[in-house]
Structure 1
Amino acid sequence: MESPSKVDDEQWLAYWILYSFITLLEMLAEPVLYWIPVWYPVKLLFVAWLALPQFKGASFIYDKVVREQLRKYRGRNRHADADHKVHILKAEADHGHVH
C-alpha cells in the first residue's frame, strides 16, 4: 500500500482473491480432500507460487482466467440490462405510459 508501484498492490489483491476462492473450494470439497494425502503439500506449493514475487502466479492466473470470466459476466449483465430496459419501454408504450 505504501509502495510507489501499483504492480505489487495488484499482485497482492489478486493473491487474496484467489486464496479466498481456494479456501471456499477447500471447505466445500473437504470430505473428498480428506482422502487425498498429498493435498496439503500441493496446496502449500501452489499458494507459494501464487504469493512469491519471483513467480507472480496470482497475477498470471488473474490475468488469464479471472479477468476473462469477469469480462464475460459483465458483458452478459449489460446485455440483460439493455434487454430489460427495452422490455419495460415496450410495456409502457403498449399501456400508454410513455414518459
Structure 2
Amino acid sequence: MKGKKSAAASLMIVLSALGFWLSVGYYHSYIDHEDNLVYFLKRRLTLRREFVNPFANEGNPLPTNELSPAVRKELSDFCKYAYGMTDGDEKSLESCRKQAIREVQ
C-alpha cells in the first residue's frame, strides 16, 4: 500500500511539472542594463519554454515591416503562444507589437 501511495505521489509530481513546462514560457527583458526573465502563461501548450520578444528592451522599437525574416518569425511564435494570435499577417503582427511594447513599459 505504501508503494502505491509513493508511486501515485511521484506521478502527480511528474504530471504537475509537465503541466508547468507546457503552460509557462519566458523571455529575456533588457531594461535598465539588467537582464530579467519575464514569465507568462502560454495560450497554447508547447514544449518550447524560451521565446524572444524583440521589443523587450530600451531601444526604439522598429515597425514589424522593418524586422528581418528571422526576427519576424520569432515575434510570430511569441505572439502565438503569449497572446494566442493565430494569423502571422502584417496587421496581426503590428497589433501584437503594440501589446508587447505596452507590457514592457
Q: Tell me the TM-score normalised to structure 1 length.
A: 0.28
Larger Rg: 1
Higher share in helix: 1
Higher share in strand: 2
